[in-house]
């Protein structure tokens, strides 16, 4: 059995303490560090199940795009959705997969541009 403790003299100086009979990291440690860092930076953290269904506006906010752009992604089939009555709903899991693929495509395009610039002696 693991014992996890969060000790804090104040909100800005919290420490995560973990004991399981020996040294070493535990699986959720990195996530908790990222969450603590984000909170320290004043960011908002929400924990939701991946089965959570989002409105098109909420999904657009997460992606950082306009709602009309998100509707285009949905209607073109790039982003799966289903309807609840007349309203479109997007599963968080599907949205996160779309975001992961989109971001990977962007990184690959930037890497290719940098490679071509280096070959041309511009970089």
Both tokens assigned to 82: 């289903």
> Do 92 and 53 touch, CB atoms closer than 8 A?
yes
What's the CA gap between 65 and 53, in Å, rounded?
18
State if pTM tops 0.85.
no
What one-character-per-residue DSSP string does 15-76 give?
A: EEEEESSS----TTHHHHHHHHHHHHTT-------TT-EE-HHHHHHHHTS-HHHHHHHHHT
Residue 39: the pLDDT is 87
The pLDDT tens digits for 87-106 are 999 999 999 999 999 999 99
The pLDDT tens digits for 53-71 are 999 999 999 999 999 999 9
CATH annotation of 53-119: 1.10.1660
pLDDT at 108 over 70: yes
Both tokens assigned to 49: 């199940």
pLDDT at 5 over 50: no
Give the residue extent of every domain in the chain. Answer: 3-40, 53-119
């Amino acid at each position: 059995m693991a014992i996890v403790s969060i000790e804090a003299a104040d909100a800005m100086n919290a420490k995560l303490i973990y004991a399981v009979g020996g040294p070493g990291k535990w699986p959720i440690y990195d996530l908790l560090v990222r969450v603590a860092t984000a909170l320290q930076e004043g960011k908002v953290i929400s924990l939701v199940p991946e089965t959570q269904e989002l409105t098109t506006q909420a999904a657009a906010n997460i992606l950082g795009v306009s709602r009309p752009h998100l509707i285009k992604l949905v209607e073109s089939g790039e982003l799966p959705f289903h309807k609840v009555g007349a309203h479109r709903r997007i599963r968080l899991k599907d949205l996160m997969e779309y975001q992961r693929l989109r971001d990977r495509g962007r990184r690959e395009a930037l890497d290719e541009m940098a490679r071509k610039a280096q070959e041309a002696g511009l970089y």
